[in-house]
C-alpha cells in the first residue's frame, strides 16, 4: 500500500472517530448512542485492518476480527437488550447541558492537541495526529462518564475511552501483544456485563437507572 494513501485513510478514520465521539455527547437517546458506538467501533476496526495490511503484522487481524465481532455486534446487541429490558430509551437531563458539553468537548480537544505536542516530537506526522485524537477521545469518554446520569450511558463513555486507547496503540506502536489484547477485550466484556446487571438491579430498586440516586445515599 502506498504510504501516502495509508496515512490519508488513517487520518480520515481517526477524525471520523473524534467527530462520532463529539456527536455522542449531543444525543440523549440511548438507541442513537449505542448506534454511534457501533459505528465508532466499526471505524476502529477499519483502522486495525488497514494497519495490519500495511505493516504485515497478522496478529493485528485478530484485533480487527475481535473489534468487529465484539464491539460492532455483541456489545451493542447486549446494550440494546438491556436498554429495552429496563425501558431506558431516553437519557434523563444530563448534568451538563448540550451547549455546555460541546464547549467542554472543544476545550478538551484543544487541551489534547496542546498536551500531545511536546510528547510526540519523535513521532511522524501521522503518529502525532492520531495520538492527539486518541487523547481527545479518551477525555471525551471520561467526560461522558462524569456528566451523564444513567448507568448505561456511563458505560458508553467507558467504551469510548477504551476505543481511544486502542486507536493510540494501533497507530503509534502498531498494536499490543496478542495476549494483552485478549485480556483487554475480556475485561471490557466483563465490565459491560456487570454494568448491565447493575443497571437492571438499580432500576428494580429505584425504578430508575439515574445514578444520582446512588450519589445521594448516606449512612444512617
Which pLDDT tens digit goes with each residue over 17-53?
999 999 999 887 888 899 999 999 999 999 999 988 8
Q: What is the pLDDT of residue 219?
A: 46
What confidence tens digit (pLDDT) does each residue in 121-161 have?
A: 666 545 667 888 999 999 999 999 888 877 778 888 889 99
Q: Which residues have a Cβ under 8 Å from the Cβ of 159 and sit 6 or more positions away? A: 37, 41, 71, 75, 141, 188, 192
Q: What pLDDT is attached to residue 175?
A: 63
State if pTM tops 0.85.
Answer: no
* Domain contains 220: no
Residue 167 CA to chain centroid, in angstroms? Answer: 10
Q: Please choose, from the candidates 191, 157, 166, the residue with its C-alpha nearest in 3D space to the C-alpha of residue 62.
A: 166
Secondary structure element (H or E) that encloses residue 209, with its range: none
Q: Please give the residue range of the domain that contains residue 174.
A: 3-215
**Cα separation, 105 vs 79, whole angstroms:** 24
Residue with cell 455527547: 25
Residue 102 in any domain: the answer is: yes
**How many separate domains does the chain show?**
1
Q: Is residue 106 part of a domain?
A: yes
- Could you tell me if residue 109 is inside a domain? yes
Amino acid at each position: 500500500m502506498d504510504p501516502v494513501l495509508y496515512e490519508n485513510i488513517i487520518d480520515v478514520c481517526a477524525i471520523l472517530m473524534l467527530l462520532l465521539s463529539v456527536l455522542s455527547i449531543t444525543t440523549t437517546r440511548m438507541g442513537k448512542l449505542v448506534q454511534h458506538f457501533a459505528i465508532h467501533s466499526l471505524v476502529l476496526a477499519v483502522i486495525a485492518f488497514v494497519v495490519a495490511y500495511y505493516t504485515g503484522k497478522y496478529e493485528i487481524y485478530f484485533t480487527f476480527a475481535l473489534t468487529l465481532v465484539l464491539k460492532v455486534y455483541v456489545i451493542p446487541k447486549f446494550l440494546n437488550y438491556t436498554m429495552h429490558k429496563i425501558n431506558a430509551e431516553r437519557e434523563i437531563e444530563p448534568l451538563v447541558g448540550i451547549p455546555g458539553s460541546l464547549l467542554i468537548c472543544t476545550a478538551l480537544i484543544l487541551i489534547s492537541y496542546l498536551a500531545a505536542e511536546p510528547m510526540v516530537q519523535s513521532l511522524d506526522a501521522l503518529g502525532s495526529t492520531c495520538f492527539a485524537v486518541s487523547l481527545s477521545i479518551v477525555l471525551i469518554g471520561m467526560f461522558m462518564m462524569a456528566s451523564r446520569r444513567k448507568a448505561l450511558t456511563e458505560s458508553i463513555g467507558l467504551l469510548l475511552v477504551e476505543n481511544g486507547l486502542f486507536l493510540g496503540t494501533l497507530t503509534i506502536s502498531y498494536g499490543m501483544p496478542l495476549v494483552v489484547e485478549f485480556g483487554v477485550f475480556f475485561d471490557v466484556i466483563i465490565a459491560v456485563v456487570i454494568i448491565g446487571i447493575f443497571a437492571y438491579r438499580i432500576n428494580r430498586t429505584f425504578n430508575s437507572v439515574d445514578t444520582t440516586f446512588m450519589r445521594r445515599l448516606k449512612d444512617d
